[in-house]
Structures are given as structure tokens and as C-alpha cells.
A and B are shown apart, each in its own frame.
Chain A
Amino acid sequence: ETGVTQSPTHLIKTRGQQVTLRCSSQSGHNTVSWYQQALGQGPQFIFQYYREEENGRGNFPPRFSGLQFPNYSSELNVNALELDDSALYLCASSPAGWDTEAFFGQGTRLTVV
């Protein structure tokens, strides 16, 4: 049990819709990152937030956006859903610092039909 919780656990959306995924960081962690994991692949970095500011972004289009709140919880928003967005979305939290350990939540399985 890492202390990182994600909601919902499963979600089915229709192509073109918008979705919001949520993450509650482990206590004391002020850095949160989001990853997309397609079936049979390793997770791919979407973006990272530190103290409510985005401080790193992977190769994902602008329709993937995020927020981090003062309590360090976070949201991932995806607009104009495409079939290829179907994946497991993982949230990771860590303390400040580049060399710290990352702790992951259980993920949200998004299916776009």
C-alpha cells in the first residue's frame, strides 16, 4: 500500500468526449507525475507537477492537461478522446528532489469506444 490513490479505477468513454482522472498523493509528497501505459508496454511520461506548476512534459498533445492543487492532489484531463487513448493511467508521487523514490497508485483503466 503506497498511499497514492487514484479514482476511478475503471472508466468507459466515447470517442470525442472529455475525461478527468484524479490522484491523491502520498502524505508529504509535493511532486506528482502522470504516465500512460498501453497494453504490453512500459509506462510513458505525460507530465509532472511540482508545487502546482508543471515542470516537465512528455511527448503528448495539448489535449492532455493537468492540475495540481494546494493539498498536492492532482487531476489529469484529456479532451477529444481518441481510441488510442485507451490505456492504464498511472499517477506517481514523490518528495521534492530529483533522486527521490517514486510511489505509484493502482491506476485508472480508461477504455475509449
Chain B
Amino acid sequence: KQEVTQIPAALSVPEGENLVLNCSFTDSAIYNLQWFRQDPGKGLTSLLLIQSSQREQTSGRLNASLDKSSGRSTLYIAASQPGDSATYLCAVRPSSASKIIFGSGTRLSIRP
């Protein structure tokens, strides 16, 4: 059974720091991995999609990596800003199912 874990559950850092959010999954048989951002009480905004054959994707100050064999992904945020404060969710699409399986998220707070 596929499980997705995100550590830490919450993180607070001062503005300007580079930071890494971690995601692990138990079954390497996935089609892709997607990182989302969620503001309080809002829907999900897709940040980056990494296909199973890819190692990383970049968008602006964000870089996501995927190591399928070890079941790990990281989201790197460069030069953090207060506007980056949100919950970041990692999700995998297993090869054996139509659904997306989410982690519980990391709640990120950037202090001015």
C-alpha cells in the first residue's frame, strides 16, 4: 500500500533563507510526483510535476527532485519570501491506481 510522508509537519524560517522540504513514499511504482501549494482554506495550486522518468523540475525559485529508487523527493525553495508562507503538499500517482495519494503536508512560515 502506497504511503506518502512529509517531514517536518511545520517549519518556520527567516526571510531570505534557502530551504528544503522533504517527501518520502513507500512504493516506487509511480507515474509521477506532484508538489502543490495550499493557502489556508483554499484549493491546491500545482507547483511542479515530475514524471517517473525525470530526476528534477524547475520553476522560478522552486526546484523539485525525484529519486524513485529510494522513494524520496525534495522541494527546494531559494531566497524565501513571506509570500511563500503556505502548506506544501507532495502527492504521487501510483502505477496501479487512478488516484493521487497525498502526504499530510508541511506548513511553512516565512518570518519577515
Interface residues, chain A, with chain B CB atoms under 8 Å away: 2, 6, 33, 35, 40-45, 48, 50, 55-56, 58, 88, 90, 92, 98-99, 101-107, 109
Q: Which residue of A lies closest to B107 (CB)?
A: A40
Cβ–Cβ < 8 Å partners of B18 in chain A: none
Q: Which residue of A lies closest to B100 (CB)?
A: A102
A-B contact pairs, 11 of them (CB 8 A): A42-B4, A42-B105, A55-B98, A92-B100, A99-B52, A101-B32, A101-B34, A102-B34, A104-B36, A106-B43, A107-B43
Cβ–Cβ < 8 Å partners of A98 in chain B: 31, 93, 95, 98
- B20 at the A interface (CB under 8 A): no
* Structural contact, B52 and A42, CB atoms closer than 8 A: no
B contact patch SS: strand
Determine the distance from Cα of A37 to Cα of B31 in the docked complex, in whole angstroms. Answer: 23
* Structural contact, A107 and B93, CB atoms closer than 8 A: no
Known: A99-B31, A102-B34. A90 touches B99 (CB 8 A): no
Question: B1-56: which residues lie under 8 A (CB-CB) from chain A?
Answer: 4, 31-32, 34, 36, 41-46, 49, 51-52
- B62 at the A interface (CB under 8 A): no
Known: A42-B4, A104-B46, A106-B42. A99 touches B32 (CB 8 A): yes
Known: A101-B46, A103-B46, A104-B43. A48 touches B98 (CB 8 A): yes
1/0 contact string of B93-112 vs chain A (CB within 8 Å): 10101111111110000000
- B89 at the A interface (CB under 8 A): yes
